[in-house]
Amino acid sequence: MKLQLALDDITLDDAVELLDKVHTYVDIIEVGSPFIIEEGMRPVRIFKEKYPDCEILADTKIMDAGEYEAEETFKAGADYCTVLGVTDTLTIEGCVKAAKEYGKQTMVDMICVEDVPKRVKEIEAVGVDFIGVHVGVDQQAVGITPLEKLAEMKSCVEHSIVSVAGGINLKTIEEYKKLNPEVIIVGGGINHAEDPVAAAKAIYEAINQ
C-alpha cells in the first residue's frame, strides 16, 4: 500500500518547503489540478529532480486529446497522468498509448461515474493501469465519503491498481485500509494539519503497519 500526497491549494515555494520535510514518508507526489492551473508542468519537473525516490502524478483530469495531453505530462517527467472516467473511451485509449510509449502509467479518475462496474469493465478492456475512486471537495462538503464507492470498486476490478481519495486523514485511515486499496491519497489531512510532518509520518506508518 502506497501513500500519495495530493498538493492542490498550495504555492510552489510552500510545496517545496513541505516536501523537503515529508518526502521520505511519501511514495507518490501528486501535482493537483489547481496547482497545474497555476503552474503548469513546472512542479512536475522540479519535483522529479528534487525527489527522485518519489513517483510523480500529474492530475491533469484529461477529457480530450488524450494521447497528446498525456504525452506532455510524460515529457515533463510525470510517472502517471490522470484522465476522467466520464470521458470517451477513445480519449482513455490515447492516454494509454502515450503511457506505453514512455513506459509510464495512466490513472482513470472515476469522479462522477455512476455505473462503476460497467465503466470499470470498459476501461480495463483498453489496458488502463490504475483506477481511482474519488469523491471531490464539493461532494465532501455535503458529507459524502469514498468508502462505499471503494468497496464497489474493489469488488469489480480484475487487474488494475486501485487508489482512493476524498477527505482521508489520520482519524479515518483505518476504515480505508480494511478495504485494501493499493494507494491511499491524502491532501488536506497532511497539508492542513497542525503539524504536517507528524501527520505524514503517522499516516505513512499506519499504512505500512
Report the chain's terminal Cα–Cα distance, integer Å.
10
Quote the pTM value.
0.96
* Contact call for residues 7 and 190 (beta carbons, < 8 A): no
* β-pairing verdict for 2-7 and 55-62: unpaired
With a cut of 90, say whether residue 209 has pLDDT above it.
no
Backbone angles phi, psi at 26, to 5 degrees: -115, 135
Fold of 2-208: TIM Barrel (3.20.20)
Which is nearest to 98 in space by CA: 75, 79, 70, 72? 70
Residues 6+ apart with CB under 8 A from 88: none
Interatomic CA distance for residues 152 and 162, integer angstroms: 11
Which is nearest to 185 in space by CA: 11, 27, 16, 38? 27
Name the maximum alpha-carbon separation found in the chain: 44
With a cut of 80, say whether residue 145 has pLDDT above it.
no
The pLDDT tens digits for 44-100 are 999 999 999 999 999 999 999 999 999 999 999 999 999 999 999 999 999 999 999
Interatomic CA distance for residues 75 and 166, integer angstroms: 28
